[in-house]
Amino acid sequence: MSQGKQCPICFEILVRKEGAPWVVCGGWDGVSAKGPTRFFGIRGTEAEFARCTGCWIEEILSDQGDLKRRLRVASQNELVELAPWEPSIRDDFCRSCSRRLALLNVMLLRNTDEELDVWRRDH
Ligand SMILES: [Zn+2]
Ligand SMILES: [Zn+2]
């Protein structure tokens, strides 16, 4: 199926995975629901995500992760809540980046080539 597709950031071969719909933690093993699924976009872009409440608090409100850096958003003011849709629980996943393709694709949208090179070097 999608075997052989490469990670757009580190070029590792992606694996097809089932998880939860959340763009950050949904591809990780053994992650359980932390509050309701909510939907958001980045103001002025076509990027759209499903996320759990846990990631919202950890990554966006209290800056414990690197999501804002990956998406190049300065604060939650750049994010807009969207009407819910049926989120996919299947996605390609990069084991090296430990991120799902949905998120890696938004990184591509949001980062310049030079900024992506920094992510590649950090590997
Ligand atoms: Zn989450
Ligand atoms: Zn990768």
pLDDT tens string, the chain, 123 residues long: the values are 545 799 999 999 999 999 888 999 998 988 877 788 899 999 988 889 899 999 999 999 998 999 999 999 999 999 999 999 998 889 999 999 999 999 999 999 999 999 999 988 876
Q: Are 27 and 93 in contact (CB under 8 A)?
A: yes
If you ran DSSP here, which 8-state letter would residue 13 be given?
B
Which residues, 6+ apart, have CB-to-CB distance to 53 below 8 Å? 34, 35, 36, 38
User: Measured between alpha carbons, how far is residue 111 from residues 18, 19, 32 in Å?
Assistant: 27, 26, 30
Q: Which residue in the block uniquely carries the two structure tokens 């990184």?
A: 107
Residue 1 pLDDT:
52
* Ligand 2 centroid – CA 37 distance (Å): 25
The neighbour count for residue 92, using CB atoms within 10 Å, is 21
Specify the residue for token string 């998880």. 19
- pTM passes above 0.85: yes
Q: Provide the pLDDT for residue 123.
A: 64
Shortest-distance ligand to the CA of residue 52: 1
Neighbours of ion ligand 1 (CB under 5 A): 22, 24-25, 52, 54-55
In the numeric block, the tokens 């900024």 are attached to 115
Which ligand is nearest to the Cα of residue 57, counting in written order? 1
